[in-house]
């Protein structure tokens, strides 16, 4: 049965959100594999039952802050595992990581509070296998102040939408010609970040493609090396141009932006 039918069969609200369309595009080719799938937020267990039927060879692990009566909710199946705890409890998440080691798919359908979603992603990313997928559902709470979101400062509020929008830069971290750039925790480890209606998908994977413009966060160094490799006779001219004049220009821009960020308190 396909995901659309399974979400309908088990009355999961994933069907109302039309999440089956996104999930289908990522998961169809994986359905016969033996995977560790973690879903944050169990509630009635509708989605766990759908996943258990869709991924017959996988382990479906559900966590929820609330007590769940597995028998009553018909979740006492051999490929469904439940743990009670909060997605914001570091020691609980560490225990989960110790128990299952790595996950292939993680779905955050828990509290939907921006700070919880960000915290959980930062904590669980290391336990996602290379080529693993991380799904964040119901990102509409980012815009809603009754859920800890912000409807009035769409670009800079501390919401999960903004967190993941900013994380997109990690895909191109080798292209950033800032000599003071500090390598981020996720740099080189994410292949793809996709945004859908109320949903974000992050694909983990090695992303270390070298830039054709920048070398170790320096455009000047790359340009200088390219130029002298083509024409050794003008080494001094290129040195003055790229290693002195261009670097001074970059440094001035760095200082101006530092000043701007300090005034605006944006780092």
User: Which positions touch ligand SAM (CB under 6 A)?
Assistant: 12, 14, 39-44, 46-47, 63-66, 86-88, 109-111, 116
Residue 232, C-beta contacts closer than 8 angstroms, at least 6 positions apart:
none
Q: Which is nearer to ligand SAM, 65 or 171 (CB)?
A: 65
Work out whether the CA dihedral 177, 181, 183, 189 comes out positive or negative: negative
Distance, CA of 210 to CA of 102 (rounded, Å): 28
CB of 216 to ligand SAM, least distance (A): 41
State the angle between helix axes of 90-100 and 114-124 in degrees (0 to 180), rounded to the nearest 10: 40
Count other C-beta atoms under 10 Å from residue 213's C-beta: 11
State which residue, 43 or 157, has the beta carbon closest to ligand SAM: 43
Instruction: Please state, in angstroms and rounded to a whole number, the distance separating the CA atoms of residues 198 and 14.
Output: 11
State the nearest-atom distance from the C-beta of 213 to ligand SAM, in Å: 43
Q: Residue 68 and residue 108: Cα distance in Å, rounded? A: 17
Smallest distance from ligand SAM to CB 52, Å? 12
Nearer to ligand SAM, 93 or 190 (CB): 93
Q: Which is nearer to ligand SAM, 48 or 190 (CB)?
A: 48
When the beta carbons of 41 and 177 are compared against ligand SAM, the nearer one is 41
In whole angstroms, how close is the CB of 185 to ligand SAM at the nearest point?
Answer: 22
Return the closest-CA partner of residue 74 out of 52, 99, 98, 41: 52
- φ/ψ of 156, rounded to 5, equals -120, -5
d(C-alpha 147, C-alpha 154), whole Å: 15
- Shortest Å distance, C-beta 111 to ligand SAM: 3
CB of 222 to ligand SAM, least distance (A): 46
Distance, C-alpha 26 to centroid of its chain: 15
Give the nearer residue to ligand SAM in terms of CB position, either 109 or 123: 109
């Amino acid at each position: 049965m396909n995901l659309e039918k399974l979400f309908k069969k088990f009355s999961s609200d994933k069907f109302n959100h039309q999440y089956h369309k996104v999930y289908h595009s990522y998961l169809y080719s994986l359905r016969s594999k033996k995977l560790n799938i973690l879903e944050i937020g169990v509630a009635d267990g509708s989605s766990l039952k759908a996943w258990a039927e869709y991924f017959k060879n996988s382990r479906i692990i559900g966590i929820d802050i609330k007590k769940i009566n597995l028998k009553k909710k018909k979740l006492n199946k051999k490929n469904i595992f439940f743990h009670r705890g909060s997605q914001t409890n570091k020691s609980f998440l560490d225990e989960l990581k110790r128990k299952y080691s790595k996950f292939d798919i993680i779905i955050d359908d828990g509290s939907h509070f921006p700070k919880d979603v960000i915290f959980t992603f930062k904590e669980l990313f290391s336990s996602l296998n290379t080529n693993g997928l991380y799904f964040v559902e119901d990102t509409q709470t980012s815009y809603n102040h009754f859920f800890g979101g912000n409807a009035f400062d769409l670009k800079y509020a501390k919401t999960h939408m903004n967190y993941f929008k900013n994380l997109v830069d990690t895909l191109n971290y080798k292209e950033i010609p800032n000599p003071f750039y500090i390598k981020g925790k996720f740099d080189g480890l994410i292949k793809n970040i996709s945004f859908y209606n109320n949903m974000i998908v992050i694909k983990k994977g090695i992303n270390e493609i070298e830039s054709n413009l920048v070398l170790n966060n320096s455009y000047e160094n790359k340009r200088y090396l390219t130029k002298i490799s083509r024409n050794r006779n003008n080494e001094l001219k290129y040195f003055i141009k790229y290693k002195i004049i261009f670097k001074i220009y970059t440094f001035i821009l760095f200082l101006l932006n530092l000043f701007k960020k300090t005034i605006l308190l944006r780092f």
